[in-house]
Amino acid sequence: MVHLLKSAAKSSNREVIILGNMSFISLRELRTSTSKINDMLADDGKIVVTSNGKPKAVMIQVNENNFEETLAVLNQIKLAKAINSIRYTAQSSGASEMSLDEINAEIAQARKVRRERLENINV
């Protein structure tokens, strides 16, 4: 993506890059030109905010009619990313190859440790 950012043409006097139907704006430009953001969102519907040419955030246009739906979709995306991360970690550590008996043993051990900790706190 950095290569694409470098090869895209910068507009005059602005640190805004337009690539396809998506606009990229630097953090510096975001701070100094907040009035332009609304226009850019109206045009493209989304803006990628960059720092040193690397993507840091995505801004998307919302309104009172789609705000809650948009938040729900963003939460679904966040959940999907978390699940993918858990799957990757399980595959990397070999945990994805565990049998059901091994998984149940791990759960039982974790519950036992938690119970013992709670008992020690209550004593």
Q: Which residue has the higher pLDDT, 23 or 85?
A: 85
In eight-state DSSP terms, residue 94 is T
Do β-strands 22-26 and 46-51 pair in parallel, antiparallel, or remain unpaired? parallel
- The architecture that CATH gives domain 2-60 is 3-Layer(aba) Sandwich (3.40)
Q: On the CB side of 75, how many CA atoms lie within 13 Å of its CA?
A: 6
Specify burial of residue 95 (Cβ count, 10 A radius: 0-12, 13-18, 19+).
Answer: middle
Mean of pLDDT values over 42-67? 91
Domain residue ranges of the chain, discontinuous segments joined by +: 2-60, 67-122
Contact 17, 10 (CB under 8 A): yes
Q: Which of 2, 35, 30, 4 is nearest to 15 (CA)?
A: 30
Rounded-to-integer distance, Cα 112 and Cα 91, Å: 26
pLDDT digits (tens, 9 = 90+) for 61-84: 999 999 999 999 999 999 999 999
Residues linked to residue 23 through DSSP beta bridges, in sequence order: 18, 47
| Model pTM score | 0.57
User: For position 42, what pLDDT does the model report?
Assistant: 85
